[in-house]
Amino acid sequence: MEILINKVINADCMEIFKNINDNSIDLIITDPPYGVNFEEGLYDDSTSAVFDNYGKWLEEMARILKKHSHLYLFVPTLQVEKWITEVKVHLRFNNLLALQVYQTNTSSSIKNNFTYDLQLVIYASKNKAKDFNKVKWIPTSSSWLKDKRNTNPQPFTYQYPSFINSNIVRANTKPNDRIKRLHPNEKNPQILRYWIEMSSLVKEIVLDPFSGSGTTGEAAWLADRQFILIEKNEQYFKIVKKRMKNLMKQKRLTEF
Ligand SMILES: C[S@@+](CC[C@H](N)C(=O)[O-])C[C@H]1O[C@@H](n2cnc3c(N)ncnc32)[C@H](O)[C@@H]1O
């Protein structure tokens, strides 16, 4: 298990789960294939590839999560009921989050039925969820920073935890955010970092068994957590490996 820490692994997650102890992972954030026949990814998104396996994936995730720890599971709008029903078999279903997305509106996204205005995310836990951490997220206004009544000026103010930070409302990255988009399903690292800070502590282990381009890894590293990233496709694996290698050379940020 120790050898998996802060590593990117090129494998089927079911193989790697075998090496992860029961009750050992502090947080899982993941975006698995949805089973909606999405055609732009280099992975099998057929109904059978996903729905023959999702029960086993969730069973393993429930086994390795620590008691009371949290799971954030990106799920499709199509078939969402199926995902919720299966999550309830293995974990405690707490909430369904709905985040806005940047639309691409390409002919292929329309063809793929991916033009919904919202990205859904299941928030679940192993048994009763532990409390959220307080997070420092509201930037203090310049006027309050200078105000005489402010005896302890701080750049950020603690926000009572809520899933959606009003400054970070999109689940994905802007279509042209990166010179070359890393992955067709790339998520917004800021919102993942926000959940990581709410749901885990510094140096705790964050797992993403379907890492894609490695967004969870980036967010975990910047938040000073340890990560385990698993990606089955070799091409995407190489992207994550490079992304994490470059990132790990940089100093971690203490604030956004
Ligand atoms: C929806 S994408 C994740 C995208 C990611 N959230 C990001 O920000 O880039 C799902 C990924 O899971 C990978 N995958 C599919 N089946 C897998 C399996 N059994 N084990 C590990 N990875 C798998 C796919 O290759 C794909 O890259």
Chain centre to alpha carbon of residue 60? 17
Q: What is the CATH number of domain 2-249?
A: 3.40.50.150
Kind plus residue range of the DSSP H or E element containing 75? strand 65-75
Could you tell me what percent of the chain has a pLDDT over 70?
88
Among 84, 87, 118, smallest CA distance to 101 is for 118
Q: Which two tokens stand for residue 98?
A: 């709905």
Q: Give the list of residues 6+ apart from residue 232 with CB closer than 8 angstroms, or none.
A: 10, 11, 12, 13, 43
> Amino acid identity of 138?
I
Q: How far is the CA of 149 from the centre of ligand 1 (A)?
A: 51
Task: Give the model's pLDDT for residue 157.
Answer: 80
Q: Is the CB of 173 under 6 A from ligand 1?
A: no
Between CA 62 and CA 143 the distance in angstroms is 47
Q: How far is the CA of 150 from the centre of ligand 1 (A)?
A: 47
Q: Is the CB of 183 under 6 A from ligand 1?
A: yes
Task: Give the model's pLDDT for residue 234.
Answer: 97
Q: Is the CB of 215 under 6 A from ligand 1?
A: yes
Chain centre to alpha carbon of residue 219? 8
Q: Which two tokens stand for residue 80?
A: 């969402």
Would you list the domain boundaries of the chain? 2-249
Strand pairing class (7-10; 25-30): unpaired
> Amino acid identity of 252?
R
Between CA 55 and CA 37 the distance in angstroms is 18
Is the pLDDT at 18 greater than 90? The verdict is yes
How much is the mean pLDDT over the chain?
A: 88
Ligand 1 atom nearest 187 alpha carbon: 8
Window from 39-48, 167-176, 197-206, 223-232 with minimum mean pLDDT:
167-176
Q: Is the CB of 243 under 6 A from ligand 1?
A: no
Q: To test the ligand 1 pocket, which listed residue (19, 53, 196, 232) has its Cβ within 8 A of the most ligand atoms?
A: 232
Is the pLDDT at 48 greater than 60? The verdict is yes
Residues 49 and 100: beta-carbon distance below 8 Å = no
Q: Which two tokens stand for residue 115?
A: 């033009």
Is the pLDDT at 242 greater than 70? The verdict is yes
pLDDT tens digits along 156-208: 887 777 777 666 778 887 766 654 567 888 899 989 998 999 999 999 999 99
pLDDT tens digits along 50-65: 999 999 999 999 999 9
